[in-house]
């Protein structure tokens, strides 16, 4: 890629950053639904198999000025000496534990300052136990439950002095049925997200109309009906913002991949991809199985794995 094109891409990415990273954030649909103590306590009880009754026992500790990309999707709260951070994610992000380290560091600092605790004292101060939960509702197929660890990012296998683990729960329709059954709001949230996606995938109609039809359908079915009637305009705006953000992330990933091919940065990965494809073909693997294997080995979205497979297949055929 020439110098001129690189400069154009740099400007484009910079412009993209300014349009998405700002201080006028919107609450995600998840935060709109669970920012109230009663709804949040219901979610906590369902996840932890507890039976707390008093919402006032829950102390909200969410950081309101944390760094986001367009959407605020976090909730932090303290209950029974446990400091909980819940984040909703529509894309699988293995870097969530690192984000958790940054977030918990700020929360603990605020906790110590508000309670006047002395970290220089000879006496051990007591801190609430941190718990980090990522609620995943993206389109990639993920298990009901998995553990993300900060240590997986370390290049060395030696013992590290720092660890942070995040439990990622798949909250798409059809997953974690026990939790969904015990927390009706979470279940209906999953149904709403699924309904919106189905309408957006129909095609041939504007996105605004598709979202509006999805909201109407949920109201007819009694899914978050009161909430949607009361906050209909805001909900539609938030859904469209989240959809635009997902599209932005996909576009950024695609652009980065294309830049890698053009710059020659991905030459080694292309060689490995080509080698893997050939080996899998010799084994008699089907096309779909090869693409899934590429996605897993190279940590690519299925769509990108398919594009790589198709590109390399075309070149091999020449």
Q: Which of 198, 218, 253 is the last residue of a domain?
A: 253
Report yes or no on 69 lying in a domain. Answer: yes
147 to 47, 132, 152, 300: CA distances (angstroms): 15, 10, 11, 19
Instruction: Specify the 3-state DSSP secondary structure of 145.
Output: strand
Cross-strand partners of 60: 77
Let me know whether 231 and 170 are in one domain: yes
Per the model's pLDDT, the better-predicted residue between 309 and 48 turns out to be: 48
Report yes or no on 85 lying in a domain. Answer: yes
pLDDT tens by residue, 21-34: 333 345 688 999 99
Mean pLDDT, the chain, integer? 82
Band the pLDDT of 40: cuts 50, 70, 90: very high
31 to 135, 154, 195: CA distances (angstroms): 12, 32, 19
pLDDT tens by residue, 202-245: 878 888 999 999 999 999 999 999 999 999 999 988 888 876 65
Let me know whether 216 and 296 are in one domain: no
Q: Which of 253, 278, 294 is the last residue of a domain?
A: 253
170 to 20, 93, 241, 284: CA distances (angstroms): 26, 13, 22, 33
The span from the CA of 83 to the CA of 132, in Å, is: 8
The span from the CA of 135 to the CA of 190, in Å, is: 11
Band the pLDDT of 5: cuts 50, 70, 90: very low
Let me know whether 135 and 82 are in one domain: yes
Let me know whether 141 and 220 are in one domain: yes
Return the half-sphere exposure (C-beta side, CA atoms, 13 A cut-off) of residue 166.
Answer: 27
177-190: average pLDDT: 96
- Give the H/E segment covering residue 89: strand 82-89
Say what the pTM is: 0.69
Let me know whether 63 and 211 are in one domain: yes
Band the pLDDT of 252: cuts 50, 70, 90: low
Per the model's pLDDT, the better-predicted residue between 51 and 156 turns out to be: 51
The pLDDT assigned to 266 comes to 55
Share of the chain above pLDDT 90, in %: 49
Domain residues for the domain of 278 are 266-317
Is the pLDDT at 178 greater than 50, yes or no? Answer: yes
Let me know whether 83 and 182 are in one domain: yes
């Amino acid at each position: 890629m020439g110098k001129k094109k690189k400069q154009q891409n740099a400007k484009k990415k910079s412009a993209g950053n300014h349009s998405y990273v700002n201080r006028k954030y919107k609450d995600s649909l998840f935060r709109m639904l669970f920012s109230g103590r009663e709804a949040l306590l219901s979610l906590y009880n369902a996840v932890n198999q507890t039976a707390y009754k008093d919402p006032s026992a829950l102390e909200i500790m969410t950081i309101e000025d944390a760094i986001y990309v367009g959407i605020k999707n976090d909730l932090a709260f303290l209950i029974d000496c446990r400091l909980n951070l819940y984040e909703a994610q529509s894309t699988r992000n293995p870097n969530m534990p690192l984000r958790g380290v940054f977030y918990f560091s700020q929360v603990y600092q605020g906790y110590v300052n508000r309670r006047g605790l002395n970290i220089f004292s000879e006496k051990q101060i007591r801190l609430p136990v941190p718990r980090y939960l990522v609620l995943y509702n993206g389109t990639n197929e993920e298990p009901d439950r998995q553990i993300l660890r900060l240590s997986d990012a370390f290049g060395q296998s030696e013992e590290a002095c720092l660890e942070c683990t995040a439990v990622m729960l798949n909250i798409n329709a059809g997953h974690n049925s026990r939790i969904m059954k015990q927390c009706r709001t979470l279940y209906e949230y999953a149904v709403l997200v699924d309904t919106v996606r189905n309408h957006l995938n129909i095609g041939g109609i504007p996105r605004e109309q598709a979202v509006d039809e999805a909201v109407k359908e949920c109201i007819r079915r009694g899914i978050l009906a009161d909430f949607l009637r009361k906050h209909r305009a805001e909900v539609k705006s938030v859904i469209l913002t989240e959809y635009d953000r997902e599209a932005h992330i996909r576009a950024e990933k695609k652009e980065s991949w294309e830049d890698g091919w053009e710059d020659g940065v991905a030459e080694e990965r292309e060689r490995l991809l080509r080698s893997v494809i050939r080996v899998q073909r010799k084994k008699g693997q089907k096309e779909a199985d090869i693409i899934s294997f590429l996605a897993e080995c190279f940590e690519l979205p299925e769509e990108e794995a398919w594009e790589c497979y198709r590109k390399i297949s075309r070149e091999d055929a020449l």
